[in-house]
Amino acid sequence: MQIRLYLLCFNEEIMLPKTVEHYKRYIPNCKITIYDNESTDNSVNIARSLGCSIVSWNSKNELNDLMNRDIKNKCWKDVDDGWIIVADMDEWLCVSEQDLIEEYNQGTTILTVKGFNMIGDSTRVDLNDIDVHGLTGGIYCIGESKRLCFLREKIKEINYSCGAHRCNPTGEIVYSEKIYINKHMVYLGLDFWINKNKVRFVRATSMQKIGLAVHYSDNDEILNKKYIQRTNPKHIINIISCTNEYLHSLPEMN
């Protein structure tokens, strides 16, 4: 059974090797394609060294949510069959090859996913002082409960919205009874998160003018306050302990 992973990338030399390691650990035979937005760091060289295919695309050095959406809706169209995973570099879908074989045999065509913002305690922008793969604490995030994985031969269109927070798939739609976790690798450390926000804020000017990418900022005070609010310990749960019944009880995007 073919499994293909498509990852969007811009200057992800920190997360890229960690993300590829995550997917190869659980889906060792997946074919990985990096849609690179003309990165200026070492992302492309790292991706090639890890055996990934590279597709370069140009957005005039801007963060363009509309182009991102279109890529996610079309990047898999030249494939006839098999499982498709489409994700951002900080989205780690927790699914194995065996899971996908079983879902296929059960007639599933789209995985049901619930997302968690993962919490770390790194004090470095490069995250080299923590084991990101060992993180287990997260906060439920309805916006990260995305339809990241679907069966190509059964799904004609996925019709993601901007950010892929919603979709309107067409074809034979059968959602999995089992819920899979999307680990959104975002709040891994204050310095890492602030740096990520500032880089994206600078590139998102055009999008902000049309009401997109407005959650980014370059203001240290605002970012510090948001980080504290969004990593409140009382909301953190151990995702390893989440039962399927519990995951089903969590709200879904309307």
Sign of CA dihedral 56, 181, 204, 195: negative
The pLDDT tens digits of the residues spanning 110-156 come to 999 999 999 999 999 999 999 999 999 999 999 999 999 999 999 99
Question: Where are the chain's structural domains?
Answer: 3-249
pLDDT at 254: 64
Q: Name the token pair of 252.
A: 């879904």
What is the C-alpha separation between 226 and 159, in angstroms, rounded? Answer: 31
CA angle, 109 as apex, 107 and 112 as ends, to 5°?
110
20: burial class by Cβ within 10 Å (0-12, 13-18, 19+)? Answer: buried
pLDDT at 253: 76
CB 32 within 8 A of CB 25: no
State the pTM of this model.
0.97
| Residue ranges of the chain with per-residue pLDDT less than 70 | 254
The CATH number of the structural domain formed by 3-249 is 3.90.550
pLDDT at 248: 96
| Residue 94: HSE in the Cβ half-sphere, 13 Å Cα cutoff | 21
Q: What is the largest CA-CA distance in the chain?
A: 51
Query: What b/e string do you get for 40-63 counting C-beta neighbours within 10 Å, with b at 16 or more?
Result: eeebbebbeeeebeeeebebeebb
